[in-house]
Amino acid sequence: MADARLLDTGSTPLRFARGWHCLGLAESFRDGKPHGVQGFGTKLVVWADSRGELNVLDGYCRHMGGDLTQGAVKGDNIACPFHDWRWGGDGRCQQIPYARRVPLRARTQRYETAVVNDQLLVWHDPEGSPADRSILPPQLADLDTYTDWIWNAEHIEGSHCRELIDNVVDMAHFYYVHFAFPTDFRNVFEGHTATQYMQSKGRPDKAGGYGSAELFLKSEATYYGPSYMVNWLDVDYKGFETEVILINCHIPTGPDSFLLQYGITVKKPEGLDDKTAAFIASKYAEMFGSGFLQDVHIWKNKVPVQNPLLCEEDGPVYQLRRWYEQFYVDVADVRPEMTDRFEFEVDTTKANEFWQVEVAENLAAMAAQESDDASVPAEA
């Protein structure tokens, strides 16, 4: 058809986002061994020195390309398994055991680090600027009153990480993918942050994800930069109220792949022992983890769309993408429309009217099916 709208699938960016990216729980790297993490189109090597400080370098030795993640921690340095060149956390070669001196230009790619909320973050910038510590994610208060982090990771192939970011404004997918009714939904973008405020209840006709008629959520989720989101959740399940913090973060591994990581911690309810609190945290980790897997299924089967055709209930997709673009251009090219404050509230009235009718019809059909099943006599 001549007037049919065509999909513009575009092309993936030629660079990776500027900003702070999370590699995982800091303690997992403090075992005296080198660790490999895929990121920014290469492999990174992570290790702890004798003081417990975490260091991150490009994972390949600048001498002859040896894989430093297969080497060994020797003193404060990471030693290459190929020729034992030893690299310090400052990115300089500190020692070549068989050589009289170290070449003056023996330097490699170093990533500045920070530990926030028990997680290791690294700074990445294609322009090579020093780390901007003023835009680090916030350190969460009173974490000692919460359970230990339950941490999970899922590698996503065939999707650019913008697919994940689009969810910030996508009200309707919570109903169709995560089985929830968003009753209030609004967004605020400003500077390097993008926030989603939502209240929702579970669908009684679905199980899995957020699907439960007795589940109510009050959510505030903020991206601090391109890849690290803190989601504060007040959860009411059958009258039992719980404060949950969800960390949703990712690191790009290639032009159209990324490592999705998410962690859950639950404020320990008064009167409950640590074991019971940890059990509650594990159940919420399963619930939110299943939600991420529902998204993963969508991402693996969709195509990118640069020119989405939208209705007003779809939220400010284009404004969010302008906000996100600031991390993919040089700092000198960041425009005011990428960082100026922007607010938008989705009117959920029409959606909830339709969804209530649909759920009622589904429940009636389910009840009729159960009645038919019960009327069929069992085989002798």
Residue 330 confidence (pLDDT) above 60: yes
Mean pLDDT of the chain: 93
CATH 2.30.29.30 fits 151-358, yes or no: no
Read off the pLDDT of each residue in 221-239 and give the average, rounded to a whole number.
94
pLDDT at 263: 94
pLDDT tens by residue, 136-192 = 999 999 999 999 999 999 999 989 999 999 999 999 999 999 999 999 999 999 999
DSSP state of 333: G
Is pLDDT larger for residue 259 or for residue 376?
259
CA-based end-to-end distance of the chain: 59
| Confidence label for 371 from pLDDT (cuts 50, 70 and 90) | confident
Read off the pLDDT of each residue in 295-306 and give the average, rounded to a whole number.
89
Residue 380 confidence (pLDDT) above 50: no
Residue 296 carries which side chain, given as an amino acid letter? V
pLDDT at 379: 60
What is the model's pTM?
0.93
Residue 378 confidence (pLDDT) above 70: no
Residue 276 confidence (pLDDT) above 90: no
| Confidence label for 323 from pLDDT (cuts 50, 70 and 90) | very high
pLDDT at 2: 65
**DSSP bridge partners of 262:** 152, 248
pLDDT at 291: 82
> Measured between alpha carbons, how far is 353 from 376 in angstroms, rounded to an integer?
36
Which sequence spans correspond to the domains of the chain?
19-135, 151-358
DSSP state of 280: H
Which residue is associated with the tokens 């055709």? 309
pLDDT tens by residue, 23-52 = 999 999 999 999 999 999 999 999 999 999
Residue 68 confidence (pLDDT) above 60: yes
- DSSP for 34-50? -EEEEETTEEEEEEE-T
CATH 2.102.10.10 fits 19-135, yes or no: yes
Q: How many CB atoms lie within 10 A of CB 376?
A: 7
